[in-house]
């Protein structure tokens, strides 16, 4: 375990806003958590757990205490003729795990290539993209429970995964340390996403072809946070009833929406923001991406507060025009 004071978080989150952790603790193995918990009871109550910081906006200059999972490994745990169980430390970059699985001919997470997540947070957020989500491969999730002072293991059934949600989000006492995923040895291409279906309609793609295509699509659409600070989609797609949608359609016939449940649908937040005139808008160094209106960006020196001010203006404007309340997807601290 490493404990440091006054650590800059600028390069430890993808918005790259100026912010410091008064105390920054790195967890290198599971035993560190017992030690930390026994020395500082209830420490988790005032701490922020941080992975890759790709879903965070820091609006304060100082955060009192940040705990970061630095447990990094990838290991094959079990295999039979059809399946393999892979275990990865929570601090492993998610995309390193995807690359490892693709290189070892294991099917299941190739569509999730390029998501800037830690392995710890992949189940917590139930990360998803291009027709796939973490829930489909979840096997076991290991964590340390700061309330019971014990290690805990969750199976997929315990966690009620749904769209970008899992029960782990309601368990602030759990520090996720490692994950186990169940993958297939035989080809199982998931081409449900339109662009993949079009590209591969005449052939069975290899794992590498799927991964490379997804990385290419992502690179063309999503600003690279190493070059322009951002946290991916800033807002959730708002959910409304079919009746509400019908009323909206009368005024906005081209409104873009996705089916959600039998009685509800999701309105595209990107469409609402673009229609309200915000795409490509810039205020100082805070802006809305010109290529993807759902992504707020830091062109260099924007503070977290600058980004939040812009987000609030977008929320107000979408409410005024459409009577719809946008909610941030990103965690604002």
Ligand X SMILES: Cc1cc2nc3c(=O)[nH]c(=O)nc-3n(C[C@H](O)[C@H](O)[C@H](O)COP(=O)(O)OP(=O)(O)OC[C@H]3O[C@@H](n4cnc5c(N)ncnc54)[C@H](O)[C@@H]3O)c2cc1C
- Interaction pattern, residues 201-230, with ligand X; x per rule: CB under 6 A: ---------------------x--x----x
CB 309 within 8 A of CB 214: no
CB 283 within 8 A of CB 306: yes
Q: Is 46 in the site for ligand X (CB under 6 A)?
A: no
Q: Is 17 in the site for ligand X (CB under 6 A)?
A: no
Q: DSSP assignment, residue 185?
A: S
Q: Tell me which residue has its CB nearest to ligand X.
A: 51
Distance CA 121, CA 50 (A): 9
Residues 109 to 148: which contact ligand X by CB under 6 A?
115-118, 120-122, 124-125, 127-129
Q: Are strands 62-69 and 20-27 parallel, antiparallel or unpaired?
A: parallel
Distance CA 79, CA 185 (A): 9
Is the CB of 55 or the CB of 306 nearer to ligand X? 55
Selected binder of ligand X within 25, 231, 248, 296 (CB under 6 A)? 231
- The closest of 207, 205, 144, 204 to 178, measured between CA atoms, is 144
> Catalytic positions, please?
164, 233, 329
Selected binder of ligand X within 58, 175, 271, 322 (CB under 6 A)? 175
Is the CB of 113 or the CB of 303 nearer to ligand X? 113
Selected binder of ligand X within 52, 95, 136, 152 (CB under 6 A)? 52
Q: DSSP assignment, residue 293?
A: T
Phi, psi at 135, each rounded to 5°: -50, -30
Contacts with ligand X by CB under 6 A lie at: 14, 48-56, 69, 90, 115-118, 120-122, 124-125, 127-129, 174-176, 222, 225, 230-232, 331
């Amino acid at each position: 375990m490493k404990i440091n004071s006054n650590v800059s978080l600028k390069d430890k989150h993808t918005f790259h806003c100026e912010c410091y952790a008064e105390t920054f603790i790195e967890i290198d193995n599971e035993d560190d958590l017992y030690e930390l918990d026994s020395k500082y009871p209830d420490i988790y109550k005032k701490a922020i757990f941080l992975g890759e910081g790709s879903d965070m906006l820091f609006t304060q200059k100082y955060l009192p205490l940040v705990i970061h999972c630095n447990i990094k490994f990838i290991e094959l745990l079990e295999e039979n003729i059809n399946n393999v169980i892979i275990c990865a430390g929570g601090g492993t970059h998610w995309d390193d795990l995807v690359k490892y699985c693709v290189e070892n001919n294991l099917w299941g997470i190739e569509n999730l290539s390029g998501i800037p997540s830690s392995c710890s947070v992949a189940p917590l957020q139930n990360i998803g993209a291009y027709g796939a989500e973490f829930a489909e491969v979840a096997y076991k999730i290991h964590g340390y429970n700061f309330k019971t002072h014990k290690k805990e293991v969750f199976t997929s059934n315990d966690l009620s995964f749904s769209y970008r949600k899992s029960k782990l989000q309601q368990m602030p006492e759990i520090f996720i340390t490692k994950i186990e995923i169940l993958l297939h040895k035989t080809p199982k291409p998931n081409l449900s996403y339109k662009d993949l279906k079009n590209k591969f309609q005449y052939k069975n793609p290899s794992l590498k072809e799927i991964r490379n295509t997804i990385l290419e699509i992502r690179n063309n659409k999503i600003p690279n946070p190493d070059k322009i600070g951002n946290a991916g989609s800033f807002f959730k797609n708002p959910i409304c009833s079919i009746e509400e949608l019908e009323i909206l359609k009368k005024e906005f016939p081209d409104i873009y929406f996705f089916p959600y449940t039998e009685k509800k649908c999701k309105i595209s937040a990107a469409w609402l923001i673009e229609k309200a005139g915000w795409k490509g808008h810039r205020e100082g160094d805070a802006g809305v991406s010109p290529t993807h209106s759902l992504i707020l960006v830091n062109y260099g020196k924007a503070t977290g507060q600058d980004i939040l001010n812009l987000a609030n203006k977008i929320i107000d404007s979408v409410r005024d025009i459409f009577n719809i309340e946008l909610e941030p997807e990103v965690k604002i601290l």
